[in-house]
Chain A
Amino acid sequence: MADTRTVPSARSRAMVREARHLLFTVAPGAVWIVIFLVLPGAYLMGVAFMTNGPYGLPEMPLSLESFRRLAGFGFLGWSPGNLYTLLRSLWQTLVATGLVVLVAYPIAYYITTCREKWRPIMLLLVVVPSWTNQVIRTFGWMNLLAPGTPLSGLAEGLGLIPPNMGLYPSSFAVTLGLVYNFLPFMVLPLYAAFEKLDTAQVEAARDLFASPVRAFWHAVFPQTLPGLLAGIVLVAIPAFGMYVIPELLGGGKGMMLGNLVATQFAGGANWPLGAAGAILMLIATFIGLFAMRRIGKRLGGGEEVVI
């Protein structure tokens, strides 16, 4: 009788101790993130469903007004301004991600063909510019693309832009800035994929008289796909929410969703509208993450690569 009581109690005491240990180690961080991230996030969601007050601050009653405004309905009837901003964000993200892939793919491959002792240095050379503050890097591009600079002069000479305009501000400058900013995020995962590449498959394909294109498509590309997907997640999601680059390089015409959201808050214009924009951004982010996970899973083994 005594035995049957003491054994479970010793075990349950150990369990209590384990649970307390878990609580002690994990709780401070979890509580911190809940208070300073989950609560603010929940508050922001609440704000999106409130009415815009006189100073741009949220007020009761609850309404869907800000989502209507986001879709373009204002007191002057419907105007497509906000929708254009949304479409421009999607388009810029798509173009920038595509261009980043086009540049990063050969670069990542090239690094793996070089001597092993050079590879870490080459990777470092690719990554180092992104260690500099984003504002400074974008400022560098402002200097390069402003009216009267050699690059702008060249573009003018080629008849690509009207005289005295300069390449910035423009949506071209935003695209360039985005590609510049996110290139390392694509090179790194692709390089990891190339480095693990099973060359036996490529040789087998060549032995079976596959053309280089076919060998690439059937033996190389599928193996790099997990890296590519990881890179797309790392590039497309932050690009969609980008604030600094369109703000500095885009001017009024290059605005993206992030700028729309920020203006509503920083200018104190309309918090609920800004919050609604932020929710839209979150939804897009989670759809993107989920889609990448699904694709990664279907292709097999992508899960540990894709976030």
Chain B
Amino acid sequence: MRKRTLHRGLTLFWWATLAFLYLPLAVVVLFSFNEANSAASFTGISFRWYHQLMGNEEILSAFGNSLVLAITSSVIALGIGCLIGYGMYRHRHRRLGWLIVLIYLPIVLPDIVFGISEMAFFVQIHRLTGLLQPGLPTMVIAHVTFQIPFVALIVYSRFVGLDPTLFEAAKDLYATPAKRVMHFMLPTIKPALISAFFLSFTLSVDDFVISFFTAGPESATLPIYIWGAIKKGVSPEINAIATLMIGAVAIAAILSLLFSRRRPT
């Protein structure tokens, strides 16, 4: 009896927490369809903010920057991180503690310290050599740096999960190193590579602080644009872009659910 009361209480608490989690997002979506200019009252449904978005060059270029940044940095991080993941696996009998600490470093560092040290460093290098002017390239560098550990760890754990005799078998069949990579390594770690790429991509799109400090005047990403708009004084247009981004996340969530259900684990 008492157990049932407890369970009922918890169910209630669960729904309250869900409401708490989705309330701010719901408000953003709701106000994106608001006819009025103010966030304080909802006067009627309209699509005017979405229309306004379409003609806004700045937003379109911010969207483009976000995509270019996420794709470029994820591809580079995938290459570098994949090599580290494999190296860590092949040589795991050695004492690689220093390496693991080094690779964990970007994860542990508070992002504000990360972003600011990158910015200070890039500015100094630029003053000394003229290279690395703040802009998309510096943002790509910063993003690759925080993506590498995640790729390395995903690839590493995939290799650890494999049967070690597979590696022997590939060698015993006289496959050349190039063939081993092409016909054995890449196909077996493909799932890990795909999930590492998507994780890197998401991390990049999701990041604000590090991008903010390494960006140049013309390389604002969507979150940076939204930040600027909020700081300048709230325009209902922000609700519309934010809603589109929430929509993208919702689609990703549904896809991930379908994807994980299909797998027989």
Q: Which residues of A contact B (CB under 8 A)?
A: 18, 21-22, 24-26, 28-30, 32-34, 36-41, 43-44, 47, 103, 106-107, 109-110, 113, 120-122, 124-126, 128-129, 131-137, 139-144, 146-149, 180, 183, 237-238, 240-244, 248, 258, 261-262, 265-266, 271, 274-275, 278, 281-282, 285, 289, 307
Q: Looking across the interface, which residue of chain B has its beta carbon closest to that of A147?
A: B40
Contacting pair A33 B209 (CB below 8 A):
no
Taking A33-B102, A265-B119 as contacts, is the C-beta distance between A278 and B21 under 8 angstroms? Answer: no
**Complex contact A139–B18 (CB within 8 A):** no
A145 to B234, CA, bound (A): 14
Q: Mind listing 28 A-B residue pairs with CB under 8 Å?
A: A25-B87, A29-B80, A29-B103, A32-B80, A36-B142, A37-B114, A40-B118, A40-B122, A43-B120, A43-B124, A103-B17, A106-B13, A110-B14, A120-B260, A129-B22, A129-B25, A132-B25, A133-B222, A134-B206, A137-B24, A140-B28, A142-B234, A146-B40, A241-B110, A262-B213, A265-B119, A274-B116, A275-B116
B117's partner among A26, A40, A147 (CB-CB below 8 A) is A40
- Across the interface, do A180 and B14 meet the contact criterion of CB distance under 8 Å? no
Question: Given the complex, which residues of A lie within 8 Å of B171, measured CB to CB?
Answer: none
B193 sits at the interface (CB 8 A): no
User: For chains A and B in complex, what number of residue pairs have CB atoms within 8 angstroms?
Assistant: 231
Least Cβ distance of B126 to chain A in Å?
Answer: 12
Q: Given that A25-B86, A140-B24, A241-B113 are contacting pairs, would A135 and B208 also be in contact in the complex, using a CB cutoff of 8 Å?
A: yes
Q: Are A144 and B27 in contact (CB under 8 A)?
A: yes
Contact (Cβ within 8 A) A110 B260: no
Interface flag for B106 (CB, 8 Å): yes
B242 at the interface (CB under 8 A from A): yes
Per a CB cutoff under 8 Å, which of A107, A243, A271 touches B209?
A243
Report how far A261 CA is from B119 CA in the complex, Å.
13
- Evaluate contact between A265 and B213: CB separation under 8 angstroms: yes
**CA–CA, A32 and B144, complex, Å:** 9
Residues of B contacting A265 with CB < 8 Å? Answer: 116, 119-120, 213
B105 touches A278 (CB 8 A): no
Q: Closest chain B residue to A141 by CB distance?
A: B24
Measured between beta carbons, the chain A residues less than 8 angstroms from B103 are 29-30, 33
Query: Binding site of A, secondary structure by majority: helix, strand, loop or mixed?
Result: helix
Q: Are the C-beta atoms of A136 and B246 separated by less than 8 Å?
A: yes
CB neighbours (8 Å) of B21 from chain A are 125-126, 129, 180, 183
Residues of A within 8 A of B238 (CB): 139
- CB–CB A278/B116 < 8 A: yes
Asked whether any CB of chain A lies closer than 8 Å to the CB of B226, the reply is yes
Cα distance A204–B111 in the bound complex, in angstroms: 46
Q: Does residue B84 face the partner (Cβ distance < 8 Å to A)? A: yes
Complex contact B13–A36 (CB within 8 A):
no
Known contacts: A33-B102, A131-B249. The answer to whether A278 contacts B121 by CB under 8 A is: no
Q: Is the CB of B83 within 8 A of A26?
A: yes
Interface residues on B, range: 35 or more
A261 and B116 within 8 A (CB): yes
Known: A29-B80, A33-B102, A33-B148. A238 touches B110 (CB 8 A): yes
Most buried by B among A18, A41, A271: A41
Across the two chains, which residue of chain B brings its CB closest to A286? B108
Apart from A25-B90, A131-B252, A258-B112, list 11 A-B contacts with CB within 8 A: A21-B90, A25-B84, A36-B145, A41-B113, A142-B230, A143-B24, A149-B40, A243-B209, A265-B116, A278-B117, A307-B108
> By the criterion CB–CB under 8 Å, are B242 and A30 in contact?
no
- Within the assembled complex, what's the spacing in Å between the Cα atoms of A103 and B21? 12
A38–B260 touching, CB < 8 Å: no
Q: Are A41's CB and B206's CB within 8 A?
A: no
In the complex, what residues of A have CB within 8 A of residue B63's CB? none
Shortest CB distance A247–B (Å): 9
Residues A133 and B206 in contact, CB atoms below 8 Å apart: yes
| CB proximity of A86 to chain B, nearest CB, Å | 14
B39 close to A (CB within 8 Å): yes
**Smallest Cβ-Cβ distance to A184: which chain B residue:** B21
Collect the chain A residues with CB atoms within 8 Å of residue B90's CB: 21-22, 25
Question: Quick one: which of A47, A129, A141 has the most chain B CB within 10 A?
Answer: A129
Q: Separation in Å of the B71 CB from the closest CB of chain A?
A: 17
Q: B43 at the A/B interface (Cβ < 8 Å)?
A: no
Instruction: Let me know if A143 and B28 touch, CB within 8 A.
Output: yes
Q: Which residues of A contact B11 (CB under 8 A)?
A: 110
A271 contact set on B, CB distance < 8 A: 120
Give Cα A186–Cα B11 distance, bound, in whole angstroms.
19
Nearest B residue (CB) for A177: B24
Known A22-B91, A129-B22, A307-B104; contact A110-B249, beta-carbon cutoff 8 A: no
CB distance from B156 to the nearest CB of A (A): 11
B246 cross-chain contacts in A, Cβ below 8 A: 132, 136
For residue B205, CB closer than 8 A to chain A, the reply is yes
Partner of B245 from A22, A40, A132 at Cβ < 8 Å: A132
Q: Are the CB atoms of B117 and A44 closer together than 8 Å?
A: yes
Give every chain B residue within 8 A of A147 (Cβ-Cβ).
Answer: 40
